[in-house]
């Protein structure tokens, strides 16, 4: 009877272990740089422009939250309408990392003196370089001035680094 209870306890314990594989976890990347730009005449934005994800598995998914602030002295509100993945690097032996990028929380209107955020998420696959496994995702947030309808772009980079990768 005691052996049956031990086996039952072990079985119940195994059932409680999450069945999601480790590679399925989303890499939440930290902002490591901000940029301040005059994106339109009289409009200055400060935004999270670079994110770092360390110890990333060879393939997986990532998520970043981009915060954009419109200076109080700006002459108009802006609307960030879309996001695109421009390209990926590095390209060792001609092979670029694969990746996708989708934005949630767009379109987003930001008045002078205000801040707002949107989320970028997607999947990736690292490439092997002489410095370790890496993927650099180069994104563009596309926006316009609300009153002038003049276009602008914000450059955002997501840097995924495998375990032990160096710069």
Residue-wise pLDDT for 5-22, tens only, equals 343 343 334 334 433 344
Mean pLDDT calculated for residue range 129-151: 97
What residue segments make up the domains of the chain, in order of their start? 25-162
Does the structure show a pLDDT above 90 at 166?
Answer: no
List, in sequence order, every beta strand (DSSP E) within 8-162: 26-28, 30-40, 43-56, 59-70, 78-89, 98-99, 102-104, 108-110, 115-125, 127-129, 132-145, 151-162
Cα–chain center distance at 141: 12
Does the structure show a pLDDT above 60 at 3?
Answer: no
pLDDT in tens, 81-132: 999 999 999 998 888 999 999 999 999 999 999 999 999 999 999 999 999 9
Does the structure show a pLDDT above 90 at 149?
Answer: yes
pLDDT of residue 24: 53
Q: Give the tokens for residue 19.
A: 């069945």
pLDDT in tens, 29-86: 999 999 999 999 999 999 999 999 999 999 999 999 999 999 999 999 999 999 999 9
Cα–chain center distance at 58: 16
Q: What is the value of pTM for the model shown? A: 0.83
Distance CA 118, CA 96 (A): 27
Distance CA 42, CA 57 (A): 43
Who has greater pLDDT, 2 or 114? Answer: 114
Angle at 151 between CA 145 and CA 154, to 5 degrees: 95
Query: Half-sphere exposure (CA, 13 Å, Cβ side) for 77?
Result: 12
CATH numeric code, 25-162: 2.60.40.10
Mean pLDDT calculated for residue range 132-156: 97
């Amino acid at each position: 009877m005691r052996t049956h209870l031990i086996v039952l306890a072990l079985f119940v314990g195994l059932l409680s272990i999450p069945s999601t594989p480790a590679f399925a976890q989303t890499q939440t990347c930290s902002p490591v740089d901000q940029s301040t730009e005059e994106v339109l005449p009289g409009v200055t934005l400060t935004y999270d422009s670079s994110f770092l994800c360390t110890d990333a598995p060879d393939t997986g998914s990532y998520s970043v939250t981009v915060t954009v602030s419109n200076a109080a002295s700006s002459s108009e509100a802006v609307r960030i309408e879309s996001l695109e993945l421009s390209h990926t690097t590095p390209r060792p032996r001609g092979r670029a990392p694969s990746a996708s990028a989708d934005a949630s929380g767009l379109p987003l209107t930001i008045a002078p003196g205000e801040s707002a955020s949107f989320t970028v998420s997607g999947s990736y696959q690292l490439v092997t370089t002489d410095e370790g496994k890496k993927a650099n995702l180069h994104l563009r947030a596309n926006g316009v001035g609300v009153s002038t309808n003049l276009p602008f772009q914000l450059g955002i980079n997501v840097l995924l680094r495998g375990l032990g990768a160096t710069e």
